[in-house]
Chain A
Amino acid sequence: KNEVEQSPQNLTAQEGEFITINCSYSVGISALHWLQQHPGGGIVSLFMLSSGKKKHGRLIATINIQEKHSSLHITASHPRDSAVYICAVPQGAQKLVFGQGTRLTINP
Chain B
Amino acid sequence: NAGVTQTPKFQVLKTGQSMTLQCAQDMNHEYMSWYRQDPGMGLRLIHYSVGAGITDQGEVPNGYNVSRSTTEDFPLRLLSAAPSQTSVYFCASSYDRALEPQHFGDGTRLSIL
Contacts and interface: CB of A to CB of B under 8 A. Distances in A.
Interface stretch (A13-21, A66-74, A92-100): A92-100
A41 interface: yes
Interface in B92-106: 92, 97-104, 106
A86 B43 contact: yes
Interface in A37-55: 41-45, 48
A41 B110 CA distance: 14
Contacts of A44: 104
A92 B104 CA distance: 20
Given A43-B104, A101-B42, 11 more contacts: A31-B99, A33-B101, A41-B88, A45-B101, A48-B101, A86-B43, A93-B98, A95-B45, A96-B45, A100-B40, A100-B42
B12 interface: no
B102 A45 contact: yes
B106 A42 contact: yes
A35 interface: yes
7 contacts: A31-B99, A42-B106, A86-B42, A93-B97, A93-B99, A95-B59, A98-B42
B66 interface: no
Contacts of A43: 90, 92, 104, 107
Nearest to A89: B98
Please report whether the interface of chain A is mostly helix, strand, loop or mixed according to DSSP.
strand
A33 B58 contact: no
Contacts of B74: none
A91 B43 CA distance: 14
Interface residues of B, number: 28
Contacts of A90: 98-99
B76 interface: no
B34 interface: no
A99 B42 CA distance: 5
Given A86-B43, A95-B45, A100-B42, A35 B98 contact: no
Contact of B103 (A45, A88, A99): A45
